[in-house]
Amino acid sequence: MLLLRPCIIKKMLDIDLMELADLHRPKDIVSEIYHQNPGWDEPVSLEELADRCGIKEIRYESLKGIEGALIANDTKSEGIIVINSDARHHRRRYTLGHELGHYLIPHHGFQMSCTSKDMSTKINKDIKMNSSQNIEAEANEFSANLLMPEPWLNKQKCFSREPSIECIKFLADKLDVSFQACANRYADLHDRPVAVVFSHMLKVQYGYTGGEHPFWLRYAKRGSSIPNSSLTASLGKVDDLTFHNDECDASLWFDENKYYCLPETCIEEVYVQEDGYIATLLWFEDEIEEKEEE
Protein backbone atom coordinates (compact mmCIF):
# COMPACT_ATOMS: atom_id res chain seq x y z
CA MET A 1 0.00 0.00 0.00
CA LEU A 2 1.35 3.40 -0.99
CA LEU A 3 1.50 5.83 1.91
CA LEU A 4 1.18 9.45 0.92
CA ARG A 5 2.68 12.12 3.11
CA PRO A 6 0.59 15.24 3.58
CA CYS A 7 1.80 18.17 1.52
CA ILE A 8 2.50 21.16 3.75
CA ILE A 9 1.92 24.40 1.88
CA LYS A 10 3.57 27.37 3.48
CA LYS A 11 1.29 30.38 3.68
CA MET A 12 2.45 33.35 1.68
CA LEU A 13 3.34 36.52 3.53
CA ASP A 14 0.40 38.92 3.52
CA ILE A 15 1.18 42.64 3.62
CA ASP A 16 -1.47 45.36 3.62
CA LEU A 17 0.58 48.41 2.63
CA MET A 18 -2.34 50.76 3.36
CA GLU A 19 -2.11 49.81 7.04
CA LEU A 20 1.60 50.61 7.04
CA ALA A 21 1.26 53.95 5.25
CA ASP A 22 0.09 55.90 8.30
CA LEU A 23 2.83 54.59 10.59
CA HIS A 24 6.08 56.51 10.99
CA ARG A 25 8.06 54.90 13.81
CA PRO A 26 10.20 51.90 12.76
CA LYS A 27 9.02 49.80 15.70
CA ASP A 28 5.35 50.46 14.89
CA ILE A 29 5.80 49.50 11.23
CA VAL A 30 7.53 46.23 12.14
CA SER A 31 4.87 45.48 14.78
CA GLU A 32 2.15 45.90 12.16
CA ILE A 33 3.98 43.57 9.75
CA TYR A 34 4.11 40.89 12.44
CA HIS A 35 0.49 41.62 13.43
CA GLN A 36 -0.58 40.93 9.85
CA ASN A 37 1.50 37.73 9.78
CA PRO A 38 1.35 36.09 13.24
CA GLY A 39 2.76 32.81 11.94
CA TRP A 40 5.80 34.31 10.24
CA ASP A 41 8.72 32.09 11.22
CA GLU A 42 12.18 33.13 12.36
CA PRO A 43 14.62 33.64 10.81
CA VAL A 44 12.50 35.94 8.69
CA SER A 45 12.68 35.90 4.91
CA LEU A 46 13.56 39.47 3.97
CA GLU A 47 13.41 38.64 0.28
CA GLU A 48 9.78 37.54 0.61
CA LEU A 49 8.90 40.68 2.54
CA ALA A 50 10.62 42.85 -0.04
CA ASP A 51 8.70 41.18 -2.86
CA ARG A 52 5.34 41.61 -1.11
CA CYS A 53 6.08 45.29 -0.49
CA GLY A 54 6.88 46.16 -4.10
CA ILE A 55 10.62 45.63 -4.41
CA LYS A 56 10.98 44.28 -7.93
CA GLU A 57 14.59 43.17 -7.68
CA ILE A 58 17.35 42.66 -5.13
CA ARG A 59 20.76 42.91 -6.73
CA TYR A 60 23.99 41.68 -5.14
CA GLU A 61 26.92 43.50 -6.67
CA SER A 62 30.47 44.36 -5.68
CA LEU A 63 30.16 47.93 -4.38
CA LYS A 64 32.89 50.39 -3.46
CA GLY A 65 32.30 52.72 -0.54
CA ILE A 66 28.69 51.71 0.18
CA GLU A 67 26.94 48.72 1.71
CA GLY A 68 23.53 49.13 0.11
CA ALA A 69 21.23 51.36 -1.89
CA LEU A 70 17.53 51.90 -2.51
CA ILE A 71 16.34 53.04 -5.93
CA ALA A 72 12.56 53.57 -5.92
CA ASN A 73 9.98 55.72 -7.69
CA ASP A 74 9.00 58.95 -5.96
CA THR A 75 5.86 57.40 -4.41
CA LYS A 76 7.82 54.33 -3.24
CA SER A 77 5.24 51.99 -4.73
CA GLU A 78 8.04 49.93 -6.30
CA GLY A 79 11.79 49.88 -6.30
CA ILE A 80 15.11 48.05 -6.48
CA ILE A 81 17.56 47.32 -3.66
CA VAL A 82 21.28 46.82 -4.27
CA ILE A 83 23.45 45.04 -1.67
CA ASN A 84 27.23 44.80 -1.48
CA SER A 85 28.05 41.22 -2.46
CA ASP A 86 31.52 41.50 -0.88
CA ALA A 87 29.98 41.77 2.61
CA ARG A 88 29.49 38.74 4.84
CA HIS A 89 26.15 36.93 4.93
CA HIS A 90 24.88 38.50 8.15
CA ARG A 91 25.90 42.00 7.08
CA ARG A 92 24.03 41.50 3.78
CA ARG A 93 20.90 40.50 5.71
CA TYR A 94 21.16 43.47 8.03
CA THR A 95 21.74 45.82 5.08
CA LEU A 96 18.69 44.45 3.28
CA GLY A 97 16.61 45.12 6.40
CA HIS A 98 18.10 48.62 6.56
CA GLU A 99 17.16 49.42 2.94
CA LEU A 100 13.67 47.99 3.48
CA GLY A 101 13.42 50.43 6.37
CA HIS A 102 14.15 53.34 4.05
CA TYR A 103 11.54 52.00 1.66
CA LEU A 104 8.75 51.53 4.24
CA ILE A 105 9.33 54.51 6.55
CA PRO A 106 7.27 57.25 4.86
CA HIS A 107 9.50 60.27 5.49
CA HIS A 108 12.67 58.58 4.21
CA GLY A 109 13.89 59.30 0.70
CA PHE A 110 13.32 57.12 -2.34
CA GLN A 111 16.94 57.30 -3.53
CA MET A 112 19.24 56.21 -0.69
CA SER A 113 22.91 55.25 -0.65
CA CYS A 114 24.24 53.84 2.64
CA THR A 115 27.80 53.40 3.90
CA SER A 116 29.26 51.09 6.51
CA LYS A 117 29.21 54.01 8.96
CA ASP A 118 25.46 54.47 8.33
CA MET A 119 24.91 50.86 9.40
CA SER A 120 26.14 51.62 12.93
CA THR A 121 24.47 55.03 13.40
CA LYS A 122 22.35 55.53 16.51
CA ILE A 123 19.62 58.10 17.20
CA ASN A 124 21.04 61.45 18.31
CA LYS A 125 18.43 63.36 20.32
CA ASP A 126 20.48 66.56 20.10
CA ILE A 127 19.90 67.02 16.37
CA LYS A 128 16.79 67.27 14.21
CA MET A 129 14.83 64.04 13.89
CA ASN A 130 14.80 64.22 10.09
CA SER A 131 18.54 64.78 9.79
CA SER A 132 20.43 62.37 7.54
CA GLN A 133 22.08 60.85 10.63
CA ASN A 134 18.82 60.06 12.39
CA ILE A 135 17.22 58.79 9.18
CA GLU A 136 20.02 56.22 8.92
CA ALA A 137 19.56 55.43 12.62
CA GLU A 138 15.84 54.81 12.05
CA ALA A 139 16.65 52.40 9.22
CA ASN A 140 18.97 50.54 11.62
CA GLU A 141 16.24 50.45 14.24
CA PHE A 142 13.85 49.04 11.64
CA SER A 143 16.32 46.31 10.63
CA ALA A 144 17.05 45.35 14.25
CA ASN A 145 13.35 45.13 15.11
CA LEU A 146 12.60 43.14 11.97
CA LEU A 147 15.44 40.63 12.32
CA MET A 148 15.35 40.38 16.13
CA PRO A 149 11.74 41.07 17.17
CA GLU A 150 11.28 41.89 20.84
CA PRO A 151 8.16 39.67 21.31
CA TRP A 152 10.06 36.65 19.96
CA LEU A 153 13.06 37.34 22.19
CA ASN A 154 10.84 37.70 25.25
CA LYS A 155 9.42 34.22 24.63
CA GLN A 156 12.87 32.56 24.70
CA LYS A 157 13.61 30.95 28.06
CA CYS A 158 17.26 31.94 28.12
CA PHE A 159 16.43 35.59 27.45
CA SER A 160 14.34 35.89 30.63
CA ARG A 161 17.09 34.46 32.84
CA GLU A 162 20.31 36.01 34.07
CA PRO A 163 22.44 37.56 31.29
CA SER A 164 24.44 34.96 29.40
CA ILE A 165 26.85 35.24 26.51
CA GLU A 166 25.95 31.68 25.48
CA CYS A 167 22.32 32.79 25.23
CA ILE A 168 23.35 35.56 22.83
CA LYS A 169 25.13 33.00 20.64
CA PHE A 170 22.06 30.74 20.69
CA LEU A 171 19.74 33.61 19.71
CA ALA A 172 22.07 34.83 16.97
CA ASP A 173 22.17 31.37 15.40
CA LYS A 174 18.38 30.96 15.61
CA LEU A 175 17.72 34.35 14.01
CA ASP A 176 20.50 34.13 11.40
CA VAL A 177 22.08 37.41 12.50
CA SER A 178 25.63 38.30 13.50
CA PHE A 179 26.70 37.75 17.09
CA GLN A 180 27.59 41.44 17.32
CA ALA A 181 24.17 42.68 16.18
CA CYS A 182 22.44 40.22 18.50
CA ALA A 183 24.62 41.26 21.46
CA ASN A 184 23.70 44.92 20.93
CA ARG A 185 20.02 44.07 20.74
CA TYR A 186 20.31 41.85 23.80
CA ALA A 187 21.95 44.67 25.75
CA ASP A 188 19.17 47.08 24.75
CA LEU A 189 16.31 44.78 25.73
CA HIS A 190 17.47 42.74 28.71
CA ASP A 191 15.95 43.62 32.08
CA ARG A 192 19.36 43.95 33.70
CA PRO A 193 22.06 46.52 32.86
CA VAL A 194 24.32 44.82 30.33
CA ALA A 195 27.46 45.97 28.55
CA VAL A 196 29.40 44.30 25.75
CA VAL A 197 32.97 44.90 24.56
CA PHE A 198 34.25 43.65 21.23
CA SER A 199 38.01 43.39 20.85
CA HIS A 200 40.62 42.13 18.41
CA MET A 201 44.11 41.14 19.57
CA LEU A 202 43.20 42.72 22.92
CA LYS A 203 42.47 46.10 21.36
CA VAL A 204 38.92 47.42 21.72
CA GLN A 205 36.90 47.67 18.53
CA TYR A 206 34.00 49.17 20.41
CA GLY A 207 32.04 48.93 23.63
CA TYR A 208 28.29 49.17 24.04
CA THR A 209 26.09 49.77 27.08
CA GLY A 210 22.46 48.89 26.54
CA GLY A 211 19.30 50.74 27.39
CA GLU A 212 19.47 52.85 30.55
CA HIS A 213 22.78 51.46 31.78
CA PRO A 214 23.77 53.62 34.78
CA PHE A 215 27.57 53.36 34.49
CA TRP A 216 30.13 54.63 31.99
CA LEU A 217 32.13 51.85 30.34
CA ARG A 218 35.83 52.65 30.64
CA TYR A 219 36.93 50.62 27.65
CA ALA A 220 34.63 51.70 24.85
CA LYS A 221 37.00 53.78 22.74
CA ARG A 222 38.34 52.07 19.64
CA GLY A 223 42.01 51.15 19.95
CA SER A 224 42.23 51.23 23.74
CA SER A 225 43.81 48.20 25.42
CA ILE A 226 41.81 45.58 27.29
CA PRO A 227 42.65 45.82 31.04
CA ASN A 228 45.60 43.54 31.83
CA SER A 229 44.06 41.94 34.92
CA SER A 230 40.78 41.03 33.17
CA LEU A 231 39.66 37.53 32.23
CA THR A 232 39.46 38.77 28.64
CA ALA A 233 43.16 39.68 28.62
CA SER A 234 44.15 36.28 30.03
CA LEU A 235 42.40 34.58 27.11
CA GLY A 236 43.94 36.74 24.42
CA LYS A 237 46.05 33.94 22.95
CA VAL A 238 43.32 31.29 23.07
CA ASP A 239 41.73 30.48 19.71
CA ASP A 240 39.29 27.67 20.38
CA LEU A 241 35.73 29.10 20.17
CA THR A 242 35.00 28.70 23.87
CA PHE A 243 33.01 30.42 26.60
CA HIS A 244 34.49 31.50 29.93
CA ASN A 245 33.23 33.48 32.92
CA ASP A 246 34.47 34.82 36.22
CA GLU A 247 33.73 37.45 38.84
CA CYS A 248 35.86 40.59 38.74
CA ASP A 249 36.24 43.99 40.36
CA ALA A 250 33.53 46.17 38.79
CA SER A 251 35.81 49.24 38.82
CA LEU A 252 38.06 47.39 36.39
CA TRP A 253 35.49 48.00 33.66
CA PHE A 254 33.19 50.79 34.91
CA ASP A 255 33.55 54.32 36.27
CA GLU A 256 31.82 55.53 39.40
CA ASN A 257 28.53 57.40 39.07
CA LYS A 258 27.30 60.29 41.21
CA TYR A 259 23.74 58.96 41.18
CA TYR A 260 24.22 55.20 41.63
CA CYS A 261 26.46 53.00 43.77
CA LEU A 262 28.81 50.92 41.68
CA PRO A 263 28.66 47.31 42.92
CA GLU A 264 31.95 45.87 44.14
CA THR A 265 31.95 43.10 41.57
CA CYS A 266 30.57 42.25 38.15
CA ILE A 267 30.40 39.10 36.08
CA GLU A 268 32.76 39.01 33.09
CA GLU A 269 31.74 36.46 30.44
CA VAL A 270 34.01 35.91 27.47
CA TYR A 271 33.34 34.36 24.08
CA VAL A 272 36.64 33.54 22.38
CA GLN A 273 36.21 33.63 18.62
CA GLU A 274 38.59 33.05 15.72
CA ASP A 275 41.63 35.09 14.65
CA GLY A 276 42.00 37.01 17.90
CA TYR A 277 38.42 38.28 18.12
CA ILE A 278 36.80 38.25 21.56
CA ALA A 279 33.38 39.33 22.81
CA THR A 280 33.01 40.25 26.50
CA LEU A 281 29.68 40.49 28.33
CA LEU A 282 29.56 42.42 31.61
CA TRP A 283 26.69 42.39 34.11
CA PHE A 284 26.02 42.78 37.82
CA GLU A 285 24.67 40.10 40.16
CA ASP A 286 23.81 42.70 42.82
CA GLU A 287 20.96 45.16 42.49
CA ILE A 288 21.93 48.72 41.51
CA GLU A 289 21.22 51.11 44.37
CA GLU A 290 20.77 54.87 44.19
CA LYS A 291 23.07 57.05 46.25
CA GLU A 292 21.54 58.93 49.14
CA GLU A 293 21.28 62.69 48.67
CA GLU A 294 23.80 64.63 50.73
Is residue 12 in some structural domain?
no
**Any domain includes 213:** yes
pLDDT of residue 26: 96
Asked if omega into 43 is within 30° of 0 (cis), the reply is yes
Of 65-69, 80-84, 217-221, 263-267, the range with the lowest mean pLDDT is 217-221
Planar angle of CA 120, 22, 110, nearest 5 degrees: 50
Is the residue at 6 inside a domain? Answer: no
Is residue 207 within 8 Å of 187, Cβ to Cβ?
A: no
Find the mean pLDDT for residues 153-165. 93
Nearest CA to 214 out of 161, 255, 159, 266 is that of 255
* 97, 146 Cβ separation under 8 angstroms: yes
**Kind and range of the H or E run holding 112:** strand 111-114
Tell me the backbone φ, ψ of residue 288, rounded to 5 degrees: -85, 125
Residue 3 lies in a domain: no
| Judgement on whether residues 187 and 283 belong to the same structural domain of the protein | yes
pLDDT digits (tens, 9 = 90+) for 222-249: 999 999 999 999 998 777 789 999 999 9
- SS3 assignment, position 261: strand
Of 14-18, 120-124, 166-170, 264-268, the least confident: 120-124
Residues 261, 173 within the same domain: yes
pLDDT score recorded for residue 240: 76
At 57, the amino acid letter reads: E
- For residue 195, pLDDT beyond 90: yes
Q: What is the pLDDT of residue 88?
A: 95
Q: Which of 162-166's residues contact partners 24+ apart within 8 Å by CB, and which partners?
A: 162/192, 162/283, 162/285, 163/190, 163/192, 163/194, 163/267, 163/269, 163/281, 163/283, 164/269, 164/281, 165/243, 165/245, 165/269, 165/270, 165/271, 165/279, 165/281, 166/243, 166/271
- pLDDT for residue 210: 83
- Residue range(s) defining the domain that contains residue 36: 17-147
Mean pLDDT to the nearest integer, 88-98? 97
Q: Which of 147, 171, 205 is the last residue of a domain?
A: 147
Q: How far apart are CA 59 and CA 38, in angstroms?
A: 29
Report the candidate in 36, 28, 145, 149 with the shortest Cα–Cα distance to residue 97: 145
SS3 157: helix
**Do 99 and 70 share a domain, yes or no?**
yes
Query: Length of the chain in residues, anyone?
Result: 294
Same domain, 277 and 208: yes
User: What pLDDT does 257 receive?
Assistant: 87
Task: Identify the pLDDT of residue 7.
Answer: 45
Angle at alpha carbon of residue 79, lines to 97 and 149, rounded to 5°: 20
In angstroms, the CA 70 to CA 82 distance is: 7
Segment 131-156, tens digit of pLDDT: 889 999 999 999 999 999 999 999 99
DSSP 129: T
Does residue 183 form part of some domain? yes
Q: How many domains does the chain contain in total?
A: 2
One domain, residues 266 and 135: no
Q: What rounded mean pLDDT belongs to the chain?
A: 91
Predicted confidence band of residue 9 (pLDDT cuts 50, 70, 90):
very low
Q: State whether 136 and 156 are in the same domain.
A: no
Q: Which residue, of 89, 114, 147, is where some domain finishes?
A: 147
At residue 11, does pLDDT exceed 90?
no
Task: Confirm if 71 and 94 have CB atoms less than 8 A apart.
Answer: no
Residues 284, 269, single domain; the answer is yes
4 lies in some domain = no
Examine the domain organization and report whether 199 and 282 are in the same domain: yes
Q: How confident is the model at residue 217 (pLDDT cuts 50, 70, 90)?
A: very high
Same domain, 156 and 279: yes
What are the Cα distances from residue 267, in Å, to 112, 233, 281, 285? 42, 15, 8, 7
Q: Is residue 293 pLDDT above 80, yes or no?
A: no
Instruction: Please check the confidence at residue 211 and state whether its pLDDT lies above 80.
Output: no
Q: Is the pLDDT of residue 191 over 60?
A: yes
Q: Which residue has the higher pLDDT, 68 or 7?
A: 68
Same-domain status, 166 and 138: no
Per-residue confidence (pLDDT) for residue 216, from 0 to 100 = 93
Q: Does residue 105 lie within any of the structural domains?
A: yes
The residue among 89, 112, 147 that closes a domain is 147
CATH code (residue 93):
1.10.10.2910
Q: What is the pLDDT of residue 13?
A: 83
Is the pLDDT confidence value at 10 over 60? Answer: no
Confidence label for 127 from pLDDT (cuts 50, 70 and 90): low
